[in-house]
Chain A
Amino acid sequence: MPKVKELFVNGKTVPVDVDGERTLLSVLRDDLDLTGAKYGCGEGQCGACTVLLDGNPIRSCRTTAAEVGKRKITTIESLEKDGRLHPVQESFLKFDAMQCAYCTNGMIMSAYALLQKSPDPSEAEIIRFMNGNVCRCGVYQRIIAAVKDAAKTLQNK
C-alpha cells in the first residue's frame, strides 16, 4: 500500500506518513490533531465528517488519504481568523443552532461551502444542499435560520 507523505491542509503543506488507504478523517483526527471533523457513521450518511476539498464539501470518512492528492483541504479549525469567528459560526451561536453540537462541524462546513457558491440561497436551496447533514438533536429550523442570517451578514460585508 502506497504511503501518503504530505497533505495540503488549511493553507499549508503538512508532512504526514500514512497508509494511503486510511480515511482522510482518520488522518486529520489521529495524525494531525484536527478533531473538529467527527466520525458519525462511516457511510457518508450523516455529514459529521464534512471538510472541504478544493472548496467542495466532501465526506472525509469515505475519502482515502491517497485520493486527496495535492488538493486543498479546508477544515473548521481554519474558519476563525485572528480570534474572530466566521459569520457562519457567529450565526450558529446567535441562533443556538445546536444541542450536543456533534453535528455542528459538518453543518458549519456545509453552510460555509454553500454560501461560497450561492451567497443568497433560498430556503429550498439550503435544505437541498444540506440535507445530507444529520442533526439527531433535531434543530433543523434553527440551522436554516442561522444559514440565512450568515448569508445576510456576508452580503453586507
Chain B
Amino acid sequence: MNSYDTLILEPGRYGVDAPAPARLDFTRRDFFKSLGCGVMVLFLVPSALAQEGGSAGRGGAATSEIAAWIHIGEDGTVTVYTGKTEVGQNIRTSLTQAVAEELQVPVSSIKMVMADTDLVPYDMGTFGSMTTPQMAPILHRAAAAARGVLLDMAADYFKADKTTLTVADGKISKTGGTESVTFGQLTKGQKFTKTMDNSTPITPAKDWKIAGTSVPKVDGREFVTGKHKYSSDMKLPGLLQGKVLWPPTFGATLVSVDTKAAEAMAGVKVVHDGNFIGAVAPDVLTAEYAVNAITAEWSPPPADFPTDKTIFEYLKNNVVQGGGRGGGGRRGGGAPFVEEEIQQEAVPAAPAGAADHTLKQTYTVAYIAHTPLEPRAAVADWQPEKLTVWTGTQRPFGVRSDLARDLGIPEERVRVIVPDTGSGYGGKHSNEATTQAARFSRAAGKPVKVVWTREEEFTHAFFRPAGVIEVTSGVSNDGKLTSWEFTNYNSGNAGLGSPYIASQTSVYRATRTPLAQTSYRALAATANNFAREVHMDELARLLKMDPLEFRLKNLTDSARDARLRAVFETAAKTFGWGAAKAAGGRGFGIAGATEKNSFIATCAEVLADTSSGTVKVVRVVIAYDCGAVVNPNHLKNQVEGAMMMGLGGALFEAIEFGKGTISNPHLADYRVPHFTDSPKVEIILIDRKDIPSAGAGETPIIAIAPAVSNAIFDATAIRLRHMPLIPDGLKA
C-alpha cells in the first residue's frame, strides 16, 4: 500500500501522434480526441505495482498503466474517470470527495464517470474493500497533480510566482488579492497535459476539509425520485425481452428439444445454441409463455448430489489436494479466486504453556444467497461493429473479456457499461445474464433485455460457501491460551488466523462444492470469526472468566492488538458491558475481529424465549476503526447495514437443496432481515487520522453472528455453533 511513493506521473497527450501511454488503445484515443478543450491529467502507475491486476497476462509489454484520469473542461467541470462500480457502498460520493479535497472545488462541480469500459481506465473490479485504500489515494494524487497544472497556468496568467496564489472554490487568486481566474478560464482553448512531479503532495487527513465530512450521497435526488436508471431500467428502441430455458437440475445436459410450438407464437423468436435455449418476445409474459411451450428432455443430476442435511459430511469427505481450483464443484465463473489456496497461518512453535483445560468443538455455516434486491440483469445491443451491454457487475472489464470469449469477438468490439447498481455484496462478478442478453440480441438482430426472476437469482447465481470449522484449543487456569488448532473446510482463508495466540495452526482446506459458490461480502472472515469468537466465549465460560477480560488477556501490546483492544473497550464502555447480568431471557454477548486493516467489536443484547422459540436482538453497539474516516455518515450507514445483513446469515438465512435443485428459491421461503428484525444500533467510529483509510464495506459484517450467539448462550445456556443459529426458532 505504500507503493504510491514510487508512482510515476507521465505526460499524456491528446491525438494519435502523441506517444501513447501504456495500454491506451484506439478506443481511448478516439475518446480523448472527442473531448472538448481543457486539461487532462493521466495518472500512471508502474504495472508491477498497478493498483489492481497489472498488465501480466494481458498481452502487453507495458511498463506502466493508467489508473485514472481527470479532465477539467472549459466550463470548469471536473470529470473523473474510474473503473470502479457503485453498488450502494457510496464510493461515487467518497471518490468525489477525494478529488474535491485536492482541487478545492465544490462537490457539485465534479462528474464521476464510472465503469464504462470505453471511457475509463482498466480496473480489475470492485471488491476486497480496495476502493478506499487504493483508488481514493490515486484520485487524491491525480487531483493534486491537476491542481499543480492549474497553478502553473495561473502563474502565467497573473505573471506571478505560484507560491503567491491561492486555490479555492474552483478559482485561483493572488493570496490576499481580489482578482481571480476560474479553472474554466484557464483551460479555455487548451488541449494538453503536463508532466507532474510524482512527489506532488496530497492533503493529509488531519487537514481535510471536504474528505472526512458527511457529504450526502452525490446523486441522491435521482434515487428518491425514481429517475436513476439501473441496468434493468434501460430501454432502447425496438427492445425485446429474453427468457432462458434452464436445465431442471444442476449438471443436467440437454438430451432432446422441441421448439415448434414456441416458434409458432406471434412475435416470438426461439434461440437455440448448444445447451443455451431461450426465447425473445416484445414483452416478458410472452417470452415466458414461449419458454414454457418448449419441450425438452434433460439428463438426470449426478447421483451423489448432497443435500443441505448431508453437506457438512460431504465437505469433510471431499477435500481437494493442492488448492483444488474448481474442485469438481461449480465456482463463480470469472469471480476473483481469492480463497483458493490452502493456507497455513503459522507453524506451531514451542507450546505457550501447559494447558489446564482443552476444548474441541465443531462449527458450521450454511450456503447463503447474496440476494441483491436488483437481480442479475442486462440489456445487450448487438451491432456489427460493436456489442454494447448495460449490466450490474462488480467486474466491468472482466465481463467484457468473458463476453468477447463467449461470443467469439475481440474485446475491442465489446463495451460494458455499469449503471449504479442495485447492490452486489460480493456476488455480482460473472457474466451469465450478460451473455444471455448478448446471444439473444445477436440472434434477434435487436436489443434484448434479460432480467432474472428471483427464482433464477436464487438458483443460478452463486452462493456464499458452506463450511465446517474444527477448533481444538488449550487454555491455562489464569486465562492464557496455550494452543490453537483451527481447520476450515471450504469457507476460505479470510480471517483464518487468530489474533489471540502467536503459536497456532490455522488451516483452510479446499473441498468440492455441489453448489456454485463465489465471494460474499467479507469472504470467509464471517465464518472464521464466528467459530473463533464463539469458541473464545466457550473458553471464557469454562474458566468462569468474563468473556471480554479473557479476550483482552490474550492480546499483546502490538500496534494491531492495540487497535483491536481499543474497539473492544470502546464498544464495551458504551454498551455498559458487565453492568447488567443475564435474567429473564435477556442476555449479552460480545465479539470482535480485525480484517482488511480495520477493527470491529460488537456488543449485542438479546431477548430469548425458549417456550415460543423467538429471539429478538434488541440492541447492538459497535465500535469500528478503519483508519481516517472519509465520510462519517456514510461509514455509519455501511456499518449499520453490514451488521443488519450479517444478522440474516446469523439467525435464519440458509439455502436448502437436494436432488440437484434448490428447495427454497423464493423470498417467501428464504428469510432475509426485515424491519421487525432491526435492533437499536449505536455506532462509535474511532477516527484515526494518522492511519490511511481502509475500506469499510465488508469488515463490519463479521462480528454480529458470534456476538448474538454468545448473547443467546448468556440468556439461555443454549450454545449455538451453527449458522444460521435459529432457522426454525430457538430450541431448548
Q: Which residues of A contact B (CB under 8 A)?
A: 18-19, 21-23, 26, 29-30, 33-43, 45-46, 48, 75-77, 79-80, 85, 89, 92-93, 96, 98-105, 108, 126-127, 130-144
In this assembly, does B228 line the interface, its C-beta being within 8 Å of a C-beta of chain A? yes
Can you list 16 pairs linking A and B with CB atoms under 8 Å apart? A21-B285, A35-B233, A38-B373, A38-B374, A40-B454, A45-B667, A76-B226, A99-B88, A99-B638, A102-B88, A104-B223, A105-B226, A134-B672, A137-B645, A138-B645, A144-B675
15 further interface pairs, Cβ-Cβ under 8 Å (given A138-B644, A142-B637): A33-B235, A36-B225, A36-B226, A38-B230, A39-B451, A42-B454, A45-B666, A96-B634, A99-B88, A99-B641, A100-B88, A134-B667, A136-B645, A139-B640, A140-B673
List B contacts of A143 (CB < 8 A). 675
Indicate if the CB atoms of A101 and B223 lie closer than 8 Å: yes
Contacts of B233 in A (CB 8 A): 29, 35
CB-contact partner of B672 in A22, A34, A136, under 8 A: A136
Chain A residue contacts of B633, Cβ below 8 A: 96
Compute how far the CA of A136 lies from the CA of B645 in the bound complex, rounded to whole angstroms: 7
Question: Is A43 within 8 A of B285, CB to CB?
Answer: no
* Residue of A33, A41, A138 contacting most chain B CB atoms (<10 Å): A138
In contact, B285 and A131 (Cβ under 8 angstroms): no
A9 to chain B, nearest CB (A): 13
A141 touches B226 (CB 8 A): no
- Interface contact B232-A38, CB-CB below 8 Å: yes
Give the distance in Å from the alpha carbon of A126 to the alpha carbon of B674 in the complex.
12
Do residues B232 and A96 form an inter-chain contact, with CB atoms below 8 A? no
Measured in the bound complex, the distance between the Cα atoms of B527 and A122 in whole Å is 38
**B642 part of interface (Cβ distance < 8 Å):** yes
Say whether A108 contacts B641, CB under 8 Å. Answer: no
Stretch at the interface among B39-47, B434-442, B676-684: B676-684
| With A38-B422, A46-B667 as contacts: A134 and B674 at CB distance below 8 Å | yes
B356 at the interface (CB under 8 A from A): no
Q: State A132–B673 Cα separation when bound (angstroms).
A: 11
Q: Which of B216, B232, B285, B675 sits near A140, CB closer than 8 Å?
A: B675
By a CB distance below 8 angstroms, the chain A residues around B672 are: 134, 136
B373 touches A103 (CB 8 A): yes
Establish whether residues A101 and B88, one from each chain, have CB atoms under 8 Å apart when the complex forms: yes
* Contact A76/B637 with A30-B284, A93-B220, A100-B421 known, Cβ cut-off 8 Å: no
Kindly provide the distance from the CB of B571 to the nearest chain A CB, expressed in whole angstroms: 17
Cα of A85 to Cα of B222 in the assembled complex, Å: 11
- B454 lies within 8 A of A22 (CB): no
Mark each residue of chain B from 213 to 255: 1 if its CB lies under 8 Å from any CB of chain A, else 0.
0001100110111111110110100000100000000000000
Question: Which residues of A have CB within 8 Å of B681?
Answer: 141
Type the 1/0 row for B130-149, where 1 means its CB is closer than 8 Å to any CB of A: 00000000000000000000
Does B394 count as interface, using CB distance less than 8 angstroms? no
Q: Which residues of A contact B89 (CB under 8 A)?
A: 99
Task: Say yes or no: is B350 at the interface (Cβ < 8 Å to chain A).
Answer: no
Complex: how many Å from CA A130 to CA B676?
Answer: 9
A41–B675 CB distance below 8 A: no
Q: Is the CB of A42 within 8 A of B453?
A: yes
Can you list, as one digit per residue, whether each of B364-383 has a CB less than 8 Å from chain A (1) or not (0)?
00000001111100000000
* B526 interface residue (CB < 8 Å to A): no
**Chain A residue with minimal CB distance to B424?**
A100
Complex Cα gap A56–B87 (Å): 31
Closest to A48 in B: B373
In contact, B674 and A77 (Cβ under 8 angstroms): no
Which residue of A is nearest B423, CB measured? A100
Contacts A80-B225, A89-B224, A127-B676; is A142 near B640 (CB within 8 Å)?
yes
Q: Which of B216, B241, B422 is the one whose CB lies under 8 Å from A100? A: B422
A144 to B673 CA separation, bound complex (whole angstroms): 15
The verdict on B643 contacting chain A, using a C-beta distance below 8 Å, is yes
Determine the residue in chain B with the shortest Cβ distance to A146. Answer: B224
**B678→A140 contact, CB < 8 A:** yes
Contact B373 A40 (CB under 8 A): yes
B169 interface hit (Cβ, 8 Å) = no
Task: Tell whether, in the assembled complex, residue A99 and residue B423 are in contact, meaning their CB atoms are under 8 Å apart.
Answer: yes
CB-nearest residue of chain A to B372: A136
Contact A130 B675, CB 8 Å, known A38-B373, A41-B666? yes
Inter-chain contacts of B225 with A (CB < 8 A): 36, 76-77, 79-80, 85, 89
Do A93 and B284 contact each other (CB < 8 Å), given the known contacts A38-B232, A38-B373, A43-B666? no
- Contact in complex: A138, B642 (CB < 8 Å): yes
Give chain B residues whose Cβ lies under 8 Å from the Cβ of A42: 453-455
CA distance A89 to B644 in the complex (A): 23
Instruction: Check B642 against A102 for contact (C-beta < 8 Å).
Output: no
Instruction: Report if B668 contacts A (CB, 8 A).
Output: yes
Tell me the bound Cα distance from A126 to B371 in angstroms.
24
Residues of A within 8 A of B422 (CB): 38, 100-102
A147 to chain B, nearest CB (A): 10
B645 touches A96 (CB 8 A): no
Does B97 have its Cβ within 8 Å of any Cβ on chain A? no
User: Hey, which chain B residues are within 8 Å of A36, CB to CB?
Assistant: 225-227
Pick the residue among B226, B454, B638 that contacts A77 (CB under 8 A).
B226
Q: How far is the CA of A84 from the CA of B230 in the complex (A)?
A: 23
* Per-position 1/0 for B650-675, Cβ under 8 A of A: 00000000000000001110001111
Query: Does chain A have a CB within 8 A of B503?
Result: no
- In the complex, chain A residues whose CB is within 8 Å of the CB of B637: 96, 99, 139, 142
B406: CB under 8 A from chain A? no
**A75 with B226: in contact, given A30-B284, A137-B88 (CB under 8 Å)?**
yes
Q: Judging by beta carbons under 8 Å apart, are B644 and A41 in contact?
A: no
Bound-state Cα–Cα, A111 to B607, Å: 28
Contacts of A132 in B (CB 8 A): 674
Q: Which residue of A lies closest to B638 (CB)?
A: A99
Residues of A within 8 Å of B642, CB to CB, are 138
Q: Give A102 to B681 CA distance when docked, in angstroms.
A: 23
Are B643 and A138 in touch, CB under 8 angstroms?
A: yes
Q: Which of B88, B90, B235, B678 contacts A141 (CB 8 A)?
A: B678
Name, among A21, A46, A135, the residue most crowded by chain B CB atoms within 10 Å (CB to CB).
A135
A141 to B672, CA, bound (A): 16
**Nearest 7 pairs of A and B residues by beta carbon:** A36-B226, A138-B644, A100-B88, A102-B422, A99-B88, A45-B667, A101-B223
The answer to whether the Cβ of B546 comes within 8 Å of any Cβ in the partner chain is no
**A77, A96, A144: the one within 8 Å of B217 (CB):** A96
- A141 in contact with B680 (CB, 8 Å): yes
- Say how far A27's CB is from chain B's closest CB, in angstroms: 9
Q: Which residue of B has the minimal Cβ distance to A23? A: B285
